[in-house]
Amino acid sequence: MNHSSTARAHGRVNLIGEHTDYNGGWVLPTPIPQFTEVTITDVPGRSVSVQSTQGRTFAYELGNETKTGSWVDYVKGATHLLREVLGSKGGIHIQIHSTIPEGAGLSSSAALETALLKALNQHRQLGLDVIAVARLGQRIENEFVGAHVGIMDQMATGLGIFGEALFLDTLTLDYQRIPLPLETFDLLVINSGVAHRLSEYDGGYNQRREECEEACRRLGILHLRDIDLNTLKTSKLPEPLRKRARHVVTENQRVKEAVVALRAQDLKKLGQLFLESHLSMKSDYQVSIPEIDLLVDLCMTHESVFGARLTGGGFGGSIVALTHKGKSAHVTGEIIPAYEAETGQKATRLI
Ligand code: GLA
C-alpha cells in the first residue's frame, strides 16, 4: 500500500537583524500564518514527480537532478543532497501546497525546503533532528541553487512558534524564545508586490556576502561580530566595504537592543530601532528599493506607527511595521492606496 507523509512549515518575518546571519550575528524572526505543506507518497521506479496546487508539475529521475534556475531547484537540491539515503528506496510523488508569496522576503523557499525535508525525514525515517534539517536546507541553497544565504530562514521555518520571536545566535545556533507582547501592539507585514530572486541570477545578495567576507579578510577577523564600531571607525577599510561592515556591526547591536526593548515593552524604542535598521539597509547596505522606501516613509508619517523597515534579503519584498494596538487596519487602509497610486504596484497585507 502507498503510505504518505505530510509536513508543514510556516513562512517567517524577520523583526530585525538583517544580513547578519552569514556574518555570525544575531537575528529575530517570528512565524507568519502563511505556510507550505508537502505530502510525499511512494511511486514505483526511481522517478520523482512533483505537483503544486498552483498547477505546476515536473518530473525527474532520482540521481539525475539538473539545475533549472527556478523554484524546482529547491526540490531537486533536496533529493540530490540526500541521494545516498534515498537512492536505494524507490520513487516518490511530492505534492506541494503553499500560501507564502514568492520573492516577498518571507522565506517561501526555506519553508519549502523545511517542509520537504521534514516530510522526507518522516517518510524515509532518516533520523534528522531540527538543526540537521535546517543545515540541509541551507546547503540546498548554498550548494545546489547557488544562493549564499545564511541559516536564519531555515532555523526560523523549522523552529518558529507563533507569538514568540526566535532570538538566534547564528554562529553557535543557541537561541532564546522571546514572547511578543501582542496585547500592546499590532504587527503589520505588507508585500510591496516587487518580487526579488535570491539566486545566482540576481547577484546582489551574493555580492553583499562577498563584500563582508572581503571586509573580514582585510580586518583580520573571522566574522563581523568580532569587531566593534570604534575599531571599525579607526580601520582603513575602503568603501563600500566600510559601510557594509558598519551596517552589520550596528545591526547586531540593534538586535540586542530590540530584545531588551521587547522584554520591557518599550515600543517607542523598538520602533526607533526598526527605522534605524531600515535606514542602515538603505544607505549602508544598499539593499532597499524605492518602492520599499516609500512604504516605510508612508508608515513613518502615520501617527499610529512606532516604526517600519524592509524585512528579508531586500531588492524587493516586504516591510514589517509596528503599530499602536488595534490600529494596523487603519494604517493599511491609508498607506496601501497611497502607495499603489504612486507606484502602480499592487501591495498586499499579509499580517
Ligand atoms: C535572506 C536569506 C537569509 C538572510 C536574509 C537577510 O532571507 O535567506 O539567510 O541573510 O536574507 O537578513
The 10s digit of each residue's pLDDT in 194-252 is 998 655 446 899 999 999 999 999 999 999 999 999 999 999 999 999 999 999 999 99
Residue 2 has pLDDT above 90, yes or no: no
- Parallel/antiparallel/unpaired status of strands 47-52 and 26-27: unpaired
- C-beta separation of 91 from 44 below 8 A: yes
In this predicted structure, what is the pLDDT of residue 196? 83
Any idea how long the chain is?
Answer: 351
CATH code: domain 4-179 is: 3.30.230.10
Band of pLDDT at residue 88, cut at 50, 70 and 90 = confident
Residue 93 has pLDDT above 80, yes or no: yes
Residue 113 has pLDDT above 60, yes or no: yes
Is there a catalytic annotation at residue 284? Answer: no
Residue 86 has pLDDT above 60, yes or no: yes
- Parallel/antiparallel/unpaired status of strands 91-98 and 57-61: unpaired
Kindly state if the Cβ of 251 falls inside 6 Å of ligand 1.
no
For all residues of the chain together, what is the average pLDDT? Answer: 96
In this predicted structure, what is the pLDDT of residue 334? 98
Cα of 152 from ligand 1 centre, angstroms:
6
The 10s digit of each residue's pLDDT in 16-49 is 999 999 999 999 999 999 999 999 999 999 999 9
Q: Which of 13, 148, 153 to mutate to test the pocket of ligand 1 (most atoms within 8 A of CB)?
A: 153
The 10s digit of each residue's pLDDT in 156-186 is 999 999 999 999 999 999 999 999 999 999 9
Residue 349 has pLDDT above 90, yes or no: yes
Domain boundary assignment for the chain: 4-179, 185-349
Mean pLDDT, to the nearest integer, of 317-340?
A: 98
Cα of 84 from ligand 1 centre, angstroms:
29
- Whether omega before 240 lies within 30 degrees of 0, making that bond cis, reads yes
User: Of all protein residues, whose CA lies closest to atom 2 belonging to ligand 1?
Assistant: 149
Class of domain 185-349: alpha beta
Mean pLDDT, to the nearest integer, of 108-114?
A: 98
In this predicted structure, what is the pLDDT of residue 199? 52
In this predicted structure, what is the pLDDT of residue 201? 40
- Tell if the pTM clears 0.85, that is, is over it: yes
- C-beta separation of 78 from 85 below 8 A: no
- Give the residue from 349, 330, 215, 256 showing the smallest Cα distance to 16: 256
- From edge to edge, which strands make up the β-sheet containing 91-98? 4-14, 29-43, 91-98, 47-52, 57-61
Cα separation, 44 vs 300, in Å, equals 57
Cα of 27 from ligand 1 centre, angstroms:
10
In this predicted structure, what is the pLDDT of residue 200? 43
In this predicted structure, what is the pLDDT of residue 134? 98
In this predicted structure, what is the pLDDT of residue 202? 63
